[in-house]
Protein backbone atom coordinates (compact mmCIF):
# COMPACT_ATOMS: atom_id res chain seq x y z
CA UNK A 1 0.00 0.00 0.00
CA UNK A 2 1.38 3.37 -1.01
CA UNK A 3 0.33 6.59 0.64
CA UNK A 4 -0.45 10.08 -0.62
CA UNK A 5 0.04 12.97 1.80
CA UNK A 6 -1.22 16.41 0.74
CA UNK A 7 1.01 19.22 1.93
CA UNK A 8 -1.38 21.88 3.16
CA UNK A 9 1.21 24.59 2.60
CA UNK A 10 0.18 24.40 -1.06
CA UNK A 11 -3.56 24.66 -0.40
CA UNK A 12 -5.56 27.85 -0.83
CA UNK A 13 -5.37 29.37 2.65
CA UNK A 14 -8.66 31.18 2.13
CA UNK A 15 -10.36 27.81 1.51
CA UNK A 16 -8.47 25.71 4.05
CA UNK A 17 -11.56 24.33 5.81
CA UNK A 18 -13.23 23.30 2.56
CA UNK A 19 -10.01 21.74 1.26
CA UNK A 20 -9.41 19.73 4.42
CA UNK A 21 -12.98 18.48 4.61
CA UNK A 22 -12.82 17.43 0.96
CA UNK A 23 -9.47 15.65 1.38
CA UNK A 24 -10.83 13.77 4.38
CA UNK A 25 -13.74 12.54 2.28
CA UNK A 26 -11.38 11.47 -0.49
CA UNK A 27 -9.59 9.18 1.95
CA UNK A 28 -6.12 10.68 2.26
CA UNK A 29 -3.63 8.91 4.51
CA UNK A 30 -2.53 11.97 6.48
CA UNK A 31 -2.21 15.74 6.31
CA UNK A 32 1.39 16.83 5.84
CA UNK A 33 1.70 20.03 7.86
CA UNK A 34 4.77 22.23 7.45
CA UNK A 35 5.74 24.43 10.37
CA UNK A 36 8.59 26.85 9.61
CA UNK A 37 10.28 29.24 12.01
CA UNK A 38 12.12 31.64 9.66
CA UNK A 39 15.36 30.53 11.32
CA UNK A 40 16.20 27.01 10.18
CA UNK A 41 14.53 27.86 6.86
CA UNK A 42 13.99 31.33 5.32
CA UNK A 43 10.21 31.21 5.53
CA UNK A 44 7.38 31.20 8.05
CA UNK A 45 4.35 28.90 8.03
CA UNK A 46 1.47 27.65 10.16
CA UNK A 47 1.68 29.11 13.62
CA UNK A 48 0.24 27.16 16.52
CA UNK A 49 -3.05 29.07 16.62
CA UNK A 50 -3.73 28.30 12.97
CA UNK A 51 -2.68 24.67 13.43
CA UNK A 52 -5.01 24.36 16.42
CA UNK A 53 -7.89 25.37 14.13
CA UNK A 54 -6.74 22.89 11.49
CA UNK A 55 -6.78 20.01 13.96
CA UNK A 56 -10.38 20.78 14.86
CA UNK A 57 -11.34 20.43 11.19
CA UNK A 58 -9.19 17.61 9.82
CA UNK A 59 -10.14 14.04 10.72
CA UNK A 60 -7.17 12.28 9.08
CA UNK A 61 -3.88 11.96 11.01
CA UNK A 62 -1.57 14.96 11.15
CA UNK A 63 2.08 14.54 10.12
CA UNK A 64 3.86 17.56 11.55
CA UNK A 65 6.99 18.44 9.55
CA UNK A 66 8.81 20.82 11.85
CA UNK A 67 11.36 22.96 10.02
CA UNK A 68 12.52 24.78 13.11
CA UNK A 69 15.47 25.07 15.43
CA UNK A 70 15.27 23.48 18.91
CA UNK A 71 12.58 20.86 18.09
CA UNK A 72 12.81 19.44 21.61
CA UNK A 73 11.11 22.58 22.93
CA UNK A 74 7.83 22.03 21.05
CA UNK A 75 7.02 18.39 21.69
CA UNK A 76 4.52 19.01 24.48
CA UNK A 77 2.82 21.79 22.54
CA UNK A 78 2.14 19.74 19.43
CA UNK A 79 1.20 16.67 21.42
CA UNK A 80 -1.49 18.79 23.07
CA UNK A 81 -2.80 19.72 19.61
CA UNK A 82 -3.31 16.06 18.71
CA UNK A 83 -0.49 15.60 16.20
CA UNK A 84 0.13 11.92 15.39
CA UNK A 85 3.59 12.14 13.78
CA UNK A 86 6.22 14.56 15.06
CA UNK A 87 8.88 14.96 12.37
CA UNK A 88 11.97 16.92 13.38
CA UNK A 89 14.95 17.76 11.21
CA UNK A 90 17.99 15.70 12.09
CA UNK A 91 20.12 18.79 11.41
CA UNK A 92 18.36 20.70 14.22
CA UNK A 93 19.13 18.55 17.23
CA UNK A 94 22.22 17.26 18.99
CA UNK A 95 20.21 14.70 20.96
CA UNK A 96 18.04 12.78 18.45
CA UNK A 97 17.71 9.66 20.63
CA UNK A 98 16.48 11.65 23.61
CA UNK A 99 14.12 13.59 21.36
CA UNK A 100 12.59 10.37 19.99
CA UNK A 101 12.01 9.17 23.54
CA UNK A 102 10.41 12.51 24.41
CA UNK A 103 8.11 12.32 21.39
CA UNK A 104 6.95 8.77 22.14
CA UNK A 105 6.45 9.57 25.81
CA UNK A 106 3.84 12.09 24.68
CA UNK A 107 2.02 9.43 22.65
CA UNK A 108 3.19 10.54 19.21
CA UNK A 109 5.13 8.68 16.54
CA UNK A 110 8.72 9.83 16.00
CA UNK A 111 9.92 10.86 12.55
CA UNK A 112 13.06 12.53 11.28
CA UNK A 113 13.61 14.61 8.14
CA UNK A 114 16.87 14.86 6.21
CA UNK A 115 17.97 17.74 4.01
CA UNK A 116 19.28 16.76 0.55
CA UNK A 117 22.90 17.29 1.62
CA UNK A 118 22.66 15.19 4.82
CA UNK A 119 23.93 11.63 4.27
CA UNK A 120 21.32 8.93 4.80
CA UNK A 121 23.93 6.93 6.71
CA UNK A 122 23.62 9.38 9.61
CA UNK A 123 20.34 7.65 10.54
CA UNK A 124 21.79 4.14 10.76
CA UNK A 125 21.65 3.85 14.55
CA UNK A 126 18.54 6.02 14.95
CA UNK A 127 16.25 3.95 12.71
CA UNK A 128 15.09 1.56 15.47
CA UNK A 129 13.72 4.60 17.34
CA UNK A 130 11.85 6.03 14.36
CA UNK A 131 8.46 5.34 12.81
CA UNK A 132 9.08 7.38 9.65
CA UNK A 133 11.70 9.35 7.78
CA UNK A 134 11.08 12.27 5.41
CA UNK A 135 13.68 12.62 2.69
CA UNK A 136 13.70 16.15 1.36
CA UNK A 137 14.03 16.17 -2.42
CA UNK A 138 14.36 19.97 -2.48
CA UNK A 139 15.95 22.45 -0.12
CA UNK A 140 13.36 22.97 2.64
CA UNK A 141 11.53 26.24 3.01
CA UNK A 142 9.60 26.92 -0.19
CA UNK A 143 7.14 24.99 -2.34
CA UNK A 144 7.37 24.69 -6.10
CA UNK A 145 11.06 23.79 -6.38
CA UNK A 146 12.49 21.28 -8.83
CA UNK A 147 12.94 17.69 -7.66
CA UNK A 148 16.56 16.61 -7.12
CA UNK A 149 17.22 13.47 -9.15
CA UNK A 150 19.76 11.93 -6.75
CA UNK A 151 16.89 11.42 -4.29
CA UNK A 152 16.09 8.07 -5.93
CA UNK A 153 19.43 6.69 -4.82
CA UNK A 154 18.92 8.09 -1.33
CA UNK A 155 15.60 6.25 -1.08
CA UNK A 156 17.31 2.98 -2.01
CA UNK A 157 20.05 3.56 0.56
CA UNK A 158 17.57 4.30 3.32
CA UNK A 159 15.42 1.30 2.44
CA UNK A 160 18.49 -0.92 2.70
CA UNK A 161 19.41 0.59 6.07
CA UNK A 162 15.86 0.07 7.34
CA UNK A 163 15.72 -3.57 6.33
CA UNK A 164 13.99 -5.48 9.10
CA UNK A 165 12.34 -2.40 10.62
CA UNK A 166 8.82 -1.05 10.14
CA UNK A 167 9.90 2.35 8.84
CA UNK A 168 7.81 4.52 6.53
CA UNK A 169 9.83 6.51 4.01
CA UNK A 170 8.23 9.75 2.85
CA UNK A 171 9.60 11.88 0.00
CA UNK A 172 8.85 15.59 0.03
CA UNK A 173 9.42 18.24 -2.60
CA UNK A 174 8.89 18.82 -6.32
CA UNK A 175 6.95 15.60 -6.92
CA UNK A 176 4.80 15.13 -9.99
CA UNK A 177 3.08 11.92 -11.05
CA UNK A 178 6.03 10.44 -12.96
CA UNK A 179 8.45 11.29 -10.16
CA UNK A 180 6.08 9.74 -7.62
CA UNK A 181 6.11 6.45 -9.55
CA UNK A 182 9.91 6.39 -9.61
CA UNK A 183 10.11 7.19 -5.89
CA UNK A 184 7.82 4.26 -5.07
CA UNK A 185 9.79 1.95 -7.34
CA UNK A 186 12.94 3.04 -5.47
CA UNK A 187 11.37 2.01 -2.16
CA UNK A 188 9.42 4.90 -0.63
CA UNK A 189 6.02 4.47 1.02
CA UNK A 190 4.62 8.00 1.06
CA UNK A 191 4.71 10.74 -1.57
CA UNK A 192 3.85 14.30 -0.66
CA UNK A 193 1.39 15.96 -3.02
CA UNK A 194 1.76 19.68 -3.68
CA UNK A 195 1.62 22.20 -6.50
CA UNK A 196 2.55 19.64 -9.18
CA UNK A 197 -0.16 17.13 -8.24
CA UNK A 198 -3.01 17.77 -5.80
CA UNK A 199 -3.06 21.56 -5.85
CA UNK A 200 -2.57 22.38 -9.51
CA UNK A 201 -4.22 25.67 -10.31
CA UNK A 202 -7.27 25.57 -12.54
CA UNK A 203 -8.10 21.96 -11.62
CA UNK A 204 -10.26 20.52 -8.86
CA UNK A 205 -8.66 18.79 -5.90
CA UNK A 206 -11.00 15.82 -6.46
CA UNK A 207 -9.87 15.30 -10.05
CA UNK A 208 -6.21 15.84 -9.16
CA UNK A 209 -6.38 13.37 -6.28
CA UNK A 210 -8.05 10.65 -8.29
CA UNK A 211 -5.57 11.05 -11.16
CA UNK A 212 -2.65 10.96 -8.72
CA UNK A 213 -4.05 8.01 -6.76
CA UNK A 214 -4.69 5.89 -9.84
CA UNK A 215 -1.27 6.64 -11.31
CA UNK A 216 0.59 5.84 -8.09
CA UNK A 217 -1.27 2.66 -7.22
CA UNK A 218 -1.62 1.28 -10.73
CA UNK A 219 1.77 2.26 -12.13
Catalytic residues: 34, 172
Q: E strands, the chain, where?
A: 3-6, 31-37, 44-45, 62-67, 85-89, 109-114, 132-136, 168-172, 190-193
52: enclosing H helix or E strand: helix 48-57
Angle of the 16-26 helix axis to the 48-57 helix axis, nearest 10 = 40
CA distance 139 to 213: 26
DSSP state of 145: P
- Would you give the distance in Å from CA 131 to the centre of its chain? 12
Please state the φ and ψ torsions of residue 179, each to the nearest 5 degrees: -65, -40
Per the DSSP assignment, residues forming a β-bridge with 135 are 114, 171
Amino acid sequence: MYHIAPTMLCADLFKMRESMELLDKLGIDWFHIDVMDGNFVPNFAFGTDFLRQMTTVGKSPFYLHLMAARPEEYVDLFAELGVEYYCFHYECTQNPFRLCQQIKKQGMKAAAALNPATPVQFLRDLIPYLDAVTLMSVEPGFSGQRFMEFTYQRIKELRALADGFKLLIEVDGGIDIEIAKKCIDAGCDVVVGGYFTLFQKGKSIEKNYETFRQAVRNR
